[in-house]
């Protein structure tokens, strides 16, 4: 009895592991397709063609198109966090973290981690006028990214790495605008010079806002 029980547990673990690998394959493919063909175009049939899995195999993991879309966003966020956010969080907060966040984002796009550039920029452009849970989730991810940039700027001000009069909101907007433009320029023209232009623009802006040494008062 014990032997059969152990064998059953082993088979169940293997079944679950196989299921998780299948789900991961589906979501990795879906995330890549979403940046090129659009997340609204994701369908069971399209994934079957791309992966070579049976329809029943794909249907076993997702009960609806919306569930597939939300799971795809979650999978893309895992990749985004591992490639950009997590390395930045290992660096001290303030200007060093801000610089790593910007550099990791540009590298992420330049290395074509997703064939359509930044997953969230791509899907946000597609869904920005379409209300619903999928759009709301993209908006949350974008908001979290903006808060992360703003937090680094705020800490840089606190540490006297940036001028105390620096507007956190304005600088956050400017940095995100530069990153977004680099993503767009590269996708439209395949011009890698856009990344160095973005780096230079961010560097020059931060240099212009660098806190100046405080003068000692004469006694």
Tell me the CATH architecture of domain 66-208. Answer: Orthogonal Bundle (1.10)
- What pLDDT does 216 receive? 43
pLDDT given at position 80: 98
The residue among 46, 52, 120, 38 whose CA lies nearest residue 83 is: 120
**What pLDDT, on a 0 to 100 scale, did the predictor assign at position 213?**
55
**Per-residue confidence (pLDDT) for residue 10, from 0 to 100:** 43
Query: Which residues, 6 or more positions from 182, have their beta carbon under 8 angstroms from its beta carbon?
Result: 106, 109, 194, 195, 197, 198
The predicted structure's pLDDT at residue 16: 54
Q: What is the pLDDT of residue 157?
A: 97
Q: So what's the pLDDT on residue 104? A: 98
For the chain, where are the alpha helices, taking DSSP H only?
2-37, 44-51, 55-59, 65-80, 86-89, 95-110, 119-127, 133-158, 168-189, 193-208
* pLDDT the model gives residue 44: 79
Predicted local distance difference test score (pLDDT) of residue 19: 52
Low-confidence ranges of the chain (pLDDT < 70): 1-19, 211-219
Confidence at residue 204, expressed as pLDDT on a 0 to 100 scale:
97
The per-residue pLDDT for 212 is 65
Our CA dihedral for 78, 80, 83, 84, rounded to 10 degrees, sits at: -130
3-state secondary structure of 22: helix
């Amino acid at each position: 009895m014990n032997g059969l029980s152990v064998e059953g547990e082993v088979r169940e673990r293997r079944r679950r592991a196989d299921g998780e690998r299948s789900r991961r394959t589906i979501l990795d493919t879906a995330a890549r397709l979403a940046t090129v063909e659009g997340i609204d175009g994701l369908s069971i049939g399209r994934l079957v063609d791309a992966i070579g899995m049976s329809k029943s195999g794909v249907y076993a993991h997702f009960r609806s198109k919306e569930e597939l879309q939300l799971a795809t966003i979650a999978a893309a966020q895992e990749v985004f966090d591992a490639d950009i956010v997590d390395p930045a969080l290992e660096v001290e907060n303030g200007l060093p973290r801000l610089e790593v966040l910007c550099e990791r984002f540009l590298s992420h796009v330049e290395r074509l981690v997703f064939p359509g550039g930044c997953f969230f920029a791509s899907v946000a452009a597609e869904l920005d006028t379409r209300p619903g849970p999928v759009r709301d989730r993209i908006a949350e991810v974008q908001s979290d990214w903006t808060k992360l940039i703003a937090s680094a700027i705020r800490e840089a001000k606190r540490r006297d790495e940036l001028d105390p009069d620096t507007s956190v909101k304005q600088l956050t907007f400017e940095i995100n605008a530069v990153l977004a433009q680099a993503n767009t320029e590269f996708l439209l023209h395949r011009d890698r010079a856009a990344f160095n232009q973005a780096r230079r623009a961010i560097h020059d802006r931060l240099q212009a806002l660098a806190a100046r040494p405080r003068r000692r008062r004469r006694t």
